[in-house]
Every structure is written in C-alpha cells, then in structure tokens.
Amino acid sequence: HQVLRIIPTNDEELQKVQELQDLEELQLDFWLAPRGLGHPVDIRVPFPSLQPLKAHLEANGISYSIMIEDVQTLVDDEQMEMIRGRHGLPLSTNTFDYATYHSLDEIYTFMDLLVAENPNLVSKLEIGRSTENRPLYVLKFSKGGTNRPAIWIDTGIHSREWVTQASGVWFAKKIVQDHENNEGVASILDKMDIFLEIVTNPDGFVFTQTQNRMWRKTRSRRSGSVCVGVDPNRNWDAGFGGPGASGNACSETYHGPYANSEPEVKSIVDFVKSHGNIKAFISIHSYSQLLLYPYGYTTTPVPDQKELDEISKKAVAALSSLYGTNYKYGSIITTIYQASGGTIDWTYNQGIKYSFTFELRDTGRYGFLLPAKQIVPTAQETWLALKVIMQHTLDHPY
C-alpha cells in the first residue's frame, strides 16, 4: 500500500478528488479528506488500486506525491488508528463507522466533517439550546435558491430509540453521496431543501449513555416534583393535555406544564413557523415497524387521509422491497394508540400536509436495544420509504 498526497489547486481538481470518494471498488482510505483548495488530501491506496488510480490522476492532470512508499501490510488495525491520530474521533465521513452506535460528541464531530467536506451542499444551523444548554443542530442540504420549499426529518426525539439517531447519521451521508444521482435525491434537491435534525433530544441522549439506557424524555426539572423530564412527543400544541398523555411528571408520557414548554420542541416550532415553506415533515422513532400519519389525539380522520394512506402504502412497499421487513401503516390513533400533543398532529394542523412518523425496527425481539449490525440495513430500507415521501412531495406542490 502507498499513501499518496494531492493538493487541489483549482475547483476542477477539487471536484475530481472528491469524486474519488465515490469509487468504492478502489477501496481508497482517505486519511485526510478533501476540505478545500490548498488543503492536502492524503489517500492510502491498496496495492491493486495503485495503478488504476495513478492512471486516472495522470489522465486528469492531477499531480500527486508519494508520501509513504510502502505501508506495512502487517500493520494491524489499532496501529492504523494511531497513525491517523484518531483519538476516538473520526477524521472524515468516509472513515466514520456507520455500523456502530456513537456518542453525542462523535455525532457532532461527524456533522462538522460533513459540512467541511461539502461546503456547497451542507450547512449546520443552531436552532436553539436544550434544557442543559446543549446546542440543537440541524443540517441543511441545499443546492441554492432562497427559502425553497423544504422537507424536514428528525431523529432521536426519544433518546432511547438509538437506531433513529444512528440512521439519521447515515441519511446525512447518503444525501451527500446521492445528491447528483438521479436514482438518489438529485431531482429533489434541484427544487427543494432538506433539513435534518439528528439528535433532537441531546440531553436525553447523553443520559442514555451515562445513566439510564431506557431514558425517553427530556431532562427538564420542575419545582414540586422529584421526577425529571417531559415527553417531547406529547408537548406540542395539538390536543395538548387531552387523553393520550399524562399529567403526572413521573410518567413516560408526561405532557409538561404547557405546550412547547420544552426548548427541544419550541426550537422546532419557531423554526417551522419562521421558515414558512416546509412541505413535508417526518419524525422518526423506534420501535414497532410502522408508518403513521395524523391524527393521534382524535379519531376524526384528517381531510387528506386518502392521499396519506396511498403514500404510506407505496412507501412501505418500497421499504419492504430491500430486506422483506414488514411494516404496517395507518393513522396514529388506530394503528398504535391515542396520543395527544404529538409532533405530526401539530405540523399537519400548521398546513404541512405530508406529515409522517416512522417507528423503525424491530417489533420487540430487541426493542430499543437493537444490535448495531442492524443499523445500516434499517437506515437503507427506511431511506427508500423516505424517498417515496420526498418524491411525492416534489411532484405535488401545494
């Protein structure tokens, strides 16, 4: 193996080098990923790919130098990590391990890397701060324009549903990989923006990693109760406080003292209202393998029930097509239970017609403790369903 160094000096070179990241068959290992003009790109190249890569670079007039002539093939994985100076944090989104669960720091580092690697497509917005003052970050994927119609996706609003944050990370990378690809999201991004909030409840997430793996709620405290936290999916202003949520602060479905009391919820409400042009809103949970549309707080069907049901049918079929994973679909109240103050009931009532909630794998065998090896298959199949919803939104402007 050799390690080659390339320093892109113009946009065309930079683009060609970025494209190398997509050539999976070459198994290139980017020790330093492309960051911009003048920044070195270091690539460890396995022996079989050396000749084809060098030929490709030469044919495109891209100069390179050989930084390491012969990386010892007997260097084991751990030493490789040390040489890269990993220190537990990923160095590029190509070396990031999507098939494992990560800490909050690792996910926030991932976001910064993704933005640095793709500055023309991805930006990071801070939409607020959690109760414990952690930043609430949203990734924006945009090819330009001003206030384009947009799709919103959030994961991790319930912190114990770990496969959702992990899938969110995978979706972010996937959008970048596929943004020029017509089987991917190219046509969607040509007209619309995508907003992705990966860790919607960071306080809860940290708590699941340090204290209680089964923590669901936020970590807000109120005087007068020993119990902590509000269910962020009962805190929205849609049927707030009605049947389908609890008024008991110690309950897992405690709705909170008033609607939008939780900063994690309020920040999204404020964002949605000030953006004003969100056309699809998808909130992702686990587990149960369901695709749901409003309402949860009432048995009255939504006016768009027929259309949402048809979209769900198509989305679920697409999801199943990959690994045969079986999903059911329907309104929240008939498919699982009555739930008031829920996210997509509010977004629907705001006029965001294409409002959906997913409950990802599995159906109870592992439940919240889904083995890490199921992260990528879960994300892959869910992505197919998300694309159906996004495509329908693109094709049916309103």
Nearer to another protein, 28 or 370 (CB): 370
Residue 97 burial (CB count, 10 A): 11
| Minimal distance, residue 311 CB to another protein, in Å | 18
C-alpha to C-alpha distance for 162 and 155, rounded to whole angstroms: 9
Nearer to another protein, 128 or 341 (CB): 341
Please name which of 341, 143, 338 lies closest in space to residue 230, comparing C-alpha atoms. Answer: 341
Nearer to another protein, 84 or 216 (CB): 216
What are the DSSP E strand ranges found in 225-367? 278-286, 290-293, 328-331, 354-360
Structure tokens at 39: 């920044």
Sequence letter at residue 55: A
Helix, strand, coil percentages, rounded to 5, for the chain: 35, 20, 45
| Minimal distance, residue 216 CB to another protein, in Å | 6
| Minimal distance, residue 223 CB to another protein, in Å | 15
C-alpha to C-alpha distance for 108 and 121, rounded to whole angstroms: 18
Peptide bond into 203 cis (omega under 30): no
Q: Is 381 a catalytic residue?
A: no
Catalytic residue selected from 117, 197, 264, 359: 359
| Minimal distance, residue 1 CB to another protein, in Å | 31
Nearer to another protein, 123 or 210 (CB): 210
Sequence letter at residue 29: D
| Minimal distance, residue 262 CB to another protein, in Å | 16
Nearer to another protein, 128 or 239 (CB): 239
Structure tokens at 192: 């619309």
Nearer to another protein, 121 or 344 (CB): 344
| Minimal distance, residue 190 CB to another protein, in Å | 38
C-alpha to C-alpha distance for 344 and 132, rounded to whole angstroms: 25
| Minimal distance, residue 369 CB to another protein, in Å | 5
C-alpha to C-alpha distance for 310 and 280, rounded to whole angstroms: 15
Question: Residue 332 belongs to what H/E stretch?
Answer: helix 332-335
C-alpha to C-alpha distance for 285 and 343, rounded to whole angstroms: 11
C-alpha to C-alpha distance for 142 and 122, rounded to whole angstroms: 7
C-alpha to C-alpha distance for 12 and 309, rounded to whole angstroms: 46
Nearer to another protein, 216 or 279 (CB): 216
C-alpha to C-alpha distance for 9 and 41, rounded to whole angstroms: 11
C-alpha to C-alpha distance for 37 and 35, rounded to whole angstroms: 7
- The angle that helices 305-323 and 375-395 make with each other, rounded to 10 degrees, is 140
User: Which residues contact another protein by CB under 8 A?
Assistant: 100-101, 162, 208-209, 212-214, 216, 226-228, 231, 250-253, 288, 326, 328, 330, 333-337, 363-372, 374
* Active site residues per annotation: 359
